[in-house]
Structure 1
Amino acid sequence: MIDHVNELTDEAPRTGTPPEGAAVAVWSLATLRDSVAGRPVAEAGEILDAAEQERAARLRRPADRHRYVASHLGLRVLLGGYLGLAPHEVVLVRETCPCCGGPHGRPAVAGGGPVHFSLSHSGDVAYLAFSGVPVGIDVEETPSQEALADVLPLLHPAEIAELNALPEADRPAGLARVWCRKEACLKAQGTGLALGLVDPYVGSAATPAPVPGWTLRDLPAPPHYAAALAVRA
């Protein structure tokens, strides 16, 4: 279990050396803040690359656009700290998709740098993970009962049974645990949601179920959120 999550604020982050092997550094960011590490979110267009700027422009709600830009600014600030680069000098690419071979697999640093990373944002919070091996992180705001009804049938049969066995009021928080664990694994593997949500089985109990080839753990999270991390074993 990782007991400490670093907080990215308006101060310059002390990243230190890049994590090696299966060591992981986890950071959180409040995505509605006006500046990240002293850099105004409103002026981050000069730092993000063309693909990030295009993605941000497609978000119709200003608050969603702000959250996206803040989280990607935070990613670039932290990667730059680990790699000894200015945030705008970090070149991001996509690895080959393990499902279809297309160029939309895990995000990575161009040239196969020493840092693997993962980014997730939900609600007003972003989580970022950095490691020397493939890593996936996910944070999820507790869903509504309506979202629970939509997602529940898509899960592993055992997870469906576990969640249905909970008192109705506890099911949204249970789904948040399952969803973030599953997403963390799928991000680390690079498949995303292409193969659906049935596998891997991660369970809804207080401790995640074992996932072969990966170390899966829950992370400390703010109230009404759940977060999880998957690291290649």
Structure 2
Amino acid sequence: MSSADALPEPLPTGLPDVHLAPVAPGLAHAERHAGILNAAERARLARFAVAADRDRYLTAHVALRILLGERLGQRPEDVPITHAACAGCGGPHGRPVVPADPVHFSLSHAGDFFVIALSDHAVVGVDVERVPAGPLPGALHPEEEDELALLNPADRPAAFARAWTRKEAVLKAIGAGLQTDPTTLLLGTAPTPRPHPAWHLTPIPTPPSYAATRADPLLLHEGLEQDPGQ
């Protein structure tokens, strides 16, 4: 792929290895390079009945392949993406991986944006969500529900979105998806996440009406902070 046809610029987040970008500016680029998707990805793309869903999937997955190809020194279409064993049942439908884990990655898309996180060291999870405009769904920890109840009603949707992206990011890193009850994860609704014994949660700066979070194993994060040369 020529330098003249590189990925559209991501939004500035101040976070290394986090690629947050709007869908629309990258759609034409993604359509030009749809051929780099593998057979399974193309089949999934063909099943979308709603154009906006198709556009999000195409733009995000083309960007993912290009970023992985750059990291691995391979052509994007040659990057072998498969699935790890499911954390719940052991079947071959867990989190997406590159065999032997030369690089770990996570992808999420919602509304007008997608986000990709990469890690050379250990599993990573990422999630982006739109701030809900209607009634808030459940699925929060009881203490998080109590936190929401103390807020001004106008502030509750953003707080809910923060909490939900934290849960999704952790579950994606684990590879459990929603097989794990999200109400059992206490990660908080405030702008600063609650400490967790296993996961370090990093809020990702987003445009208004969105929230996003990156999840990394806590012990790894602490080790990298102590020895940033690693």
SS at 2:177 equivalent:
coil
Distance 1:177 1:69 in 2: 26
> 3-state DSSP class of the match of 1:33?
helix
Tell me by how many angstroms 1:34 deviates: 4.5
CA distance in 1, matches of 2:93, 2:149: 35
> Alignment RMSD, CA only?
2.0
Q: How does 1:88-103 map to 2 (within 5 A)?
A: 88-103=77-92
Aligned positions, number: 209
In the other structure, the counterpart of 2:103 is: 115
Match of 2:112 in 1: 124
- Name which of structure 1's ranges 42-51 and 122-131 shifts more when overlaid on structure 2: 42-51
Instruction: Give unpaired runs (5+ residues) of structure 2.
Output: 10-14, 219-230
**Residue 208 of structure 1: SS of its match in structure 2?**
coil
2: distance between equivalents of 1:186 and 1:128? 15
Query: How many Å apart are 1:90 and its aligned residue?
Result: 0.7
Native 8 Å contact 1:94 1:108 kept in 2: yes
SS of residue in 1 equivalent to 2:6 = coil
Following the alignment from structure 1 to structure 2, what is the Cα–Cα distance between the partners of residues 164 and 10? 49
**Structure 2 Cα separation of the partners of residues 174 and 35 of structure 1:** 30
Once residues 58 and 21 of structure 2 are traced to their aligned partners in structure 1, the CA distance between those partners, rounded to angstroms, is 12
- Structure 2 counterparts to residues 58-97 of structure 1, below 5 A: 58-97=47-86
8 Å contact kept, 1:10–1:35: no
Cα shift readout 1:189-221 (whole Å, capped 9, x = no counterpart): 111111221122100112101121211121111
Relative to total residues, which structure has the larger helix share, 1 or 2?
2
| Partner SS, residue 209 of structure 1 | coil
TM-score (norm: length of structure 1):
0.84
Query: Alpha carbons of 1:160 and 1:53: their partners in 2 closer, same or farther (altered >3 Å)?
Result: same
1:107-147 superposed Cα distances (whole Å, 9 cap, x missing partner): 1012x13210000111111111001211001111111223x
Q: Which residue of 23, 27, 31 corresponds with 2:19?
A: 27
Q: Which moved more, 1:57-66 or 1:133-142?
A: 57-66
In the TM superposition, what is the alpha-carbon distance from 1:87 to its structure 2 partner?
0.8
Any idea what the Cα deviations from partners look like across 1:147-188, whole Å, max 9, x if unmatched?
x1xx22x21111111112211111111111001111111111
The amino acid across from 1:158 in the alignment is: E
Q: Distance in 1 between matches of 2:31 and 2:7?
A: 18
| Match of residue 227 from structure 2 | none
Structure with a larger share of its residues in strand: 1
Kept after mapping to 1: 8 A contact 2:8/2:26:
no
Task: Report the Cα offset of residue 78 of structure 1.
Answer: 0.2
Q: Which runs of 5+ in 1 are unaligned?
A: 1-8, 15-22
Q: Percent identity?
A: 45
Q: Taking structure 2 as the reference length, what is the TM-score of the superposition?
A: 0.85
